[in-house]
Amino acid sequence: MEEKDKILDIKNLDVSFRTSAGTVHALRGVNIDLYRGETVAIVGESGSGKSVSMKAAMGLLAPNATVNDGQILFRFKNSSGEIEEADILKKDKKWIRRNINGKHMAMVFQDPMTSLDPTMPIGRQITEGIIAHLGLSKKEAWEKARDLLLEVGITDAEKRMHHYPHQLSGGMRQRVVIAIALSCDPDLLICDEPTTALDVTIQAMILDLIMKVQKTRGISVIYITHDLGVVAKVADYVNVMYAGKIVEVGNVNEIFYEPAHPYTWGLLSAMPDLSTDDVRLYTIPGSPPNLLHEMPGDAFAARNPYALAIDEKEHPPMFKITETHSAATWLLDPRAPKVEMPAELKARLERMRREAQG
C-alpha cells in the first residue's frame, strides 16, 4: 500500500475565549489527522469545541479568541505546483484568505438560511470567490458558476443566478452554499452540521450530494455533527469530542461496534433506534461542563457512571487499543477494574452489526 498523504494535521490545539463572564477554555489539546480522500467526522454535544477547532483550521476564529498552544499543519499544492506545508496558526489572516480559504479549504455552514448574503444575487456570491482565486474573467466565472449549480442539482441554473437568497428554499440555499464551497476545487471541505437546519427529507439529499462530489472530485471531507446516523453513513474515521478534547478516535467500525469510552457508550445508547424495545430513550445525565471553570481530572467524570477515583484527580491519557483506535479513559489502564459496556448497548450494537452485514 502506498504511503497515505496527510493533508491536515492538528496538533495539541489549545484555544480560549475572552468573554465578559471570564475566560472560556474551549479547546484543551485537540489532535486530529486527516488523509487525502478520506472522510472524518467530529462528533460531540454542542459546546464541545467541534466548530471552534474547524474555524481555527480555516483561520476564522472570532477576535476574542486566543490560541494558547498547538499547530495546524495543512498541506496543499501551491501555485507553482509544489506541495507546501503551512501552519495556519502562524500565518496572518490576509495570507490565509488569499491562499487557503475557498481555494484549498472550503466550508459549508450549519444554517443555509443565514449563511448567504441577503443583499447579493447568488450568482455573484459564487463568482466572487472564483474571480478572486482563479483569476477568471467575469464571463468565464459566470459560466463556471452555472455549471456548479447544475452539478449540485439546481435546475434552471441560469435563472437562479439572478435570484436573491430569500427566493430560494432552505435545501436550495444549502446547495448554493455547497456550490460556493466547491467553486475553486478545494482539497478539503469542512461541513459544519450541514443538514441540521434542514427538513429530514432534504437532509439525505444533501448528504448524498456531498458524498457524490467527494467521490467525483476526490477531496477530503470533515463533518462536524452530533448526529451519529450521519456519521455511520458518511465517515471513514470518527473523532469523539468532549469538553474541548478528543476522547475517542477510531475508524467507523471501531467506534460503532467496539466503543471504549463511556461517553461514546452514552452517545450510542442515546441514538434513536427503531428496533429497540426500550420504552425510554437513554440520555446522558447532566449537561456538558461549563468551560469557564478549569477542572482537574476527567471532564466527563461528573456524568460518568463508571467514574474512578483517579478521574477526579488526573486527566486520562490516550490509551491505544489498535493502530487506528484509541480512547482517553482510565478504564483502559491495566490497573483499572475490568468494565464492559452496558449489556443493553452491547446487544444493540450486535443487532446493528447484523443488520449492516445482512
Partner 1 sequence: MNDFEFLKNRNLQTDRNFASQPYWAGVFKRFFAKKRPVIGLMIVSVILLLAVIGPMVSGYSYREISSVINPETGKQVVARGISPRIPWLHSLLGKEPYTDFFAEKTFLFGTDDLGRDLWTRTWYGARVSLLIAFVTIFIDVIIGMTFGLISGYFGGVVDAIMQRFVEVANSVPRLVIVSVLAIFMPKGIGLVIVALLLTEWIGMSKIARAEMLKIKELEYILASRTLGAGNFNIIFKDVLPNTIGPIITQVMFSIPTAIFTEAFLSFVGVGIMLPQCSVGSLIEDGFNNITTLPYQIIPPILVLAFMMLGFNFIGDGLREALAPKLEDM
Partner 2 sequence: MKRYVIKRVLSALLTLLLITFLLFLLVRIMPGNPFPSERMTAEAIEKKRAEMGLNDPILVQFFHYMSKVLKGDFGKGTSLYYGAPIHTVLKKCLSNSFKIGGIAILLGTFVGLLLGIVAALNRDRFWDVFCSVFSILGVCVPAYVFLIFLQYTFSYKLTLLPYFFDSTDFLRSTIIPSVSMSLFTMSTVARFTRNEMVEVSDSDYVLLAEAKGMYGAKLITRHVLRNALIPVVTVLAPLVVDLLTGALVVEKIYGIQGIGKLMVDAISGEGIDYNYVLALGILYSAMYIGIMLVVDLLYGLLDPRIRISAKGGDNG
- Name the helix (H) or strand (E) containing 145: helix 138-151
**Would you count residue 144 as binding partner 2 (CB under 8 A)?**
no
For partner 2, which residue of 33, 45, 84, 128 counts as binding (CB under 8 A)?
128
Cβ-based nearer residue to partner 1, 307 or 349 = 307
Interface positions, 32-61, toward partner 1 (CB under 8 A): 52
Interacting residue with partner 1 among 41, 301, 327, 341 (CB under 8 A): 301
CA gyration radius for the chain? 21
Which residue has cell 443566478?
161
Residues 46, 226 contacting (CB under 8 angstroms) = yes
Residue 241 CB, nearest approach to partner 2 (Å):
21
Determine if 93 is a binding residue for partner 1 (CB under 8 A): no
Specify the residue for cell string 491519557: 317
Q: Contact between 197 and partner 1 (CB under 8 A)?
A: no
Nearer to partner 1, 190 or 219 (CB): 190
Residue 256 as a binder of partner 1 (CB under 8 A): the answer is no
From partner 2, partner 1, none, interface partner of 101 (C-beta below 5 to 8 A by class): partner 2
Q: Cell 455547497, residue?
A: 178
The answer to the question of residue 250 lying near partner 2 (CB under 8 A) is no
Does 316 engage in binding with partner 1 (CB under 8 A)? no
CA 232/CA 237 separation, integer angstroms: 10
**93, 95, 156, 286: residue in contact with partner 1 (rule CB under 8 A):** 286
Residues paired with 67 in a beta bridge:
15
Give the Cβ contact number of residue 135 at 10 Å: 9
Q: Is 140 in the site for partner 2 (CB under 8 A)?
A: no
Handedness of CA 72, 73, 78, 84 (dihedral sign): positive
Position 22 contacts partner 1 (CB under 8 A)? no
Rounded to 5°, angle at Cα 270 from 233 and 44? 65
Name the nearest CA neighbour of 109 among 187, 221, 192, 196.
192
Looking at residues 82 to 121 of the shown chain, list those that interact with partner 2 (rule: CB under 8 A).
93-94, 97-98, 100-103, 106-107, 109, 111, 114-120
The H or E element spanning position 200 is helix 200-217
Q: Does 336 sit near partner 1 (CB under 8 A)? A: yes
Q: Please tell me the distance from the alpha carbon of residue 127 to that of residue 171, in angstroms, as a whole number.
A: 20
218 versus 305: smaller Cβ distance to partner 1: 305
C-alpha cell at 207: 448528504
Of partner 2, partner 1, none, which one sits near residue 166, judging by CB under 5 to 8 A according to partner kind?
A: partner 2
- To partner 1, the closest distance from the beta carbon of 77 in angstroms equals 33
